[in-house]
């Protein structure tokens, strides 16, 4: 990855949050390079840089980009700072083959077509309405009267609400489909060689992660729950669907404080949550791993108006 690519993909605000530097009004912050009592560092999101205006700061008088900030903050060489910046952009497991541009561009174009088709399917919009998800934006519909070429290319996603799964650069790298037809209602389908996460890789500033059992549940939380600051939602792919890619996404979160498992209230969901809690506690002994006691035979989506709001929207 070239330095220019790193600077394009790693925002200065993410770097500040990674090091615990809080933004104050007017895009200012306390300078971490000197004993700053009043905010003397200005954040320029348009140029992806910061600038300290204090005469008491050794870094004053020069613009600092994301790589320079890491270099100064950790007292490392430029090369070491670049390596660190790369790790903040792309988790170690993501390889060049998984982020090639051609297939990603193709999937992005397909998603755009499916998204434009969605309002034209009464069955798809009715399904979303009953699920309380009609306001979701980054989804599409692969219904029977849609684009013939896409129907031919993705026959197993026919008559499905289509959700994009994303890589660490927020590129769509595969699809998940949720059928809205009566005979297959709520069945799950994925494109071959499934990869990517939903709704996306968490920001490096994330302190709290909520793992759900399904993509529908994750979408429900994203849309309806008033989540705490620096909280990310990640969907597992079923009760046994915590993958190495989920683990890699969590491994890059140096500020992570806790993980909460919000699985279904049936026997399968409770058993899977307990098993995953034990696994995660071994893998991350310094992080709190909790499990939400979902009411019996309920799930996140079925409880939008009741326990989900009670649990997550309380002050």
In this structure, are 215 and 255 located in the same domain? Answer: yes
Query: Can you tell me the mean pLDDT for 190-208?
Result: 93
Residue 197 domain flag: no
Residue 56 domain flag: yes
In this structure, are 75 and 104 located in the same domain? Answer: no
In this structure, are 56 and 119 located in the same domain? Answer: no
How many domains does the chain contain in total? 3
pLDDT > 70 fraction of the chain, expressed in percent and rounded: 89
Residue 202 domain flag: no
DSSP labels for 277-308?
Answer: HHHHHHH-TTSEEEE--PPTT--TTTTIIIII
- Both tokens of residue 29? 């912050």
Q: What is the CATH number of the domain that holds 134?
A: 3.90.980.10
pLDDT of residue 105: 45
Q: In the chain, what's the furthest Cα-to-Cα distance? A: 71
In this structure, are 113 and 33 located in the same domain? Answer: no
Least confident interval from 9-23, 181-195, 301-315: 301-315
Query: Can you tell me the mean pLDDT for 18-47?
Result: 87
Give residue 268's domain range. 208-312
Single pTM value for the model: 0.68
Query: Can you tell me the mean pLDDT for 110-131?
Result: 92
In this structure, are 57 and 117 located in the same domain? Answer: no
Task: Decide which of 151 and 16 is more confident.
Answer: 16
In this structure, are 146 and 61 located in the same domain? Answer: no
CA–CA separation, 153 and 111 (whole Å): 13
Residue 282 domain flag: yes
63-111 pLDDT per residue, tens: 999 999 999 999 999 999 998 888 887 544 444 444 333 433 488 889 9
In this structure, are 81 and 105 located in the same domain? Answer: no
CA–CA separation, 237 and 32 (whole Å): 41
CB 211 within 8 A of CB 275: no
- 58, 89, 120 - which closes a domain: 89
Residue 125 domain flag: yes
In this structure, are 120 and 37 located in the same domain? Answer: no
Q: What is the CATH number of the domain that holds 273?
A: 3.40.1360.10
pLDDT band at 310 (very low <50, low <70, confident <90, very high): low
Residue 177 domain flag: yes
Pairing, β 258-262 against β 41-44: unpaired
Q: In whole numbers, what is the pLDDT of the chain averaged over residues?
A: 86
Q: How many CA atoms lie within 13 A of 35 on its CB side?
A: 0
154-174 pLDDT per residue, tens: 888 889 999 999 999 889 999
- 46, 61, 89 - which closes a domain: 89
Q: What is the CATH number of the domain that holds 34?
A: 3.90.580.10
pLDDT of residue 302: 82
- 89, 114, 137 - which closes a domain: 89
Residue 200 domain flag: no
Residue 95 domain flag: no
CB 211 within 8 A of CB 287: no
242-278 pLDDT per residue, tens: 999 999 999 999 999 999 999 999 999 999 999 999 9
């Amino acid at each position: 990855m070239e330095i220019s690519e790193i600077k394009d993909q790693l925002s200065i605000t993410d770097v500040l949050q990674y090091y615990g530097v809080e933004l104050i009004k007017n895009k200012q912050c306390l300078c971490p390079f000197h004993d700053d009592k009043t905010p003397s560092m200005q954040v320029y999101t348009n140029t992806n840089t910061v600038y300290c205006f204090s005469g008491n700061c050794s870094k004053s008088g020069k613009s600092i980009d994301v790589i320079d900030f890491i270099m100064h903050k950790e007292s490392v060489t430029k090369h070491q700072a670049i390596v660190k910046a790369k790790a903040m952009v792309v988790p170690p497991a993501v390889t060049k083959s998984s982020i090639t541009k051609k297939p990603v561009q193709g999937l992005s174009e397909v998603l755009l077509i499916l998204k434009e088709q969605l309002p034209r399917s009464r069955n798809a919009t009715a399904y979303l309405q009953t699920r309380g998800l009609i306001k979701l934006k980054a989804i599409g519909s692969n219904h029977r009267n849609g684009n013939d070429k896409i129907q031919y290319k993705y026959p197993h996603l026919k008559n499905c609400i289509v959700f994009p799964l994303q890589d660490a650069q927020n590129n769509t790298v595969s699809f998940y489909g949720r059928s809205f037809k009566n005979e297959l209602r709520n069945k799950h389908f994925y494109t071959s060689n499934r990869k990517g996460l939903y709704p996306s890789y968490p920001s490096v500033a994330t302190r709290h992660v909520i793992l759900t059992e399904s993509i529908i549940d994750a979408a429900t939380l994203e849309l309806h729950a008033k989540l705490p600051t620096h909280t990310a939602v990640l969907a597992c792919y079923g009760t046994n669907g915590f993958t190495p890619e989920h683990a890699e996404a969590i491994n890059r979160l140096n500020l992570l404080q806790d993980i909460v498992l919000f699985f279904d209230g049936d026997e399968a969901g409770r058993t899977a949550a307990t098993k995953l809690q034990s696994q995660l506690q071994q893998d991350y002994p310094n992080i709190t791993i909790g499990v939400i006691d979902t009411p019996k035979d309920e799930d996140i989506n079925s409880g939008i108006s009741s326990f989900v709001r009670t649990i997550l929207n309380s002050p």
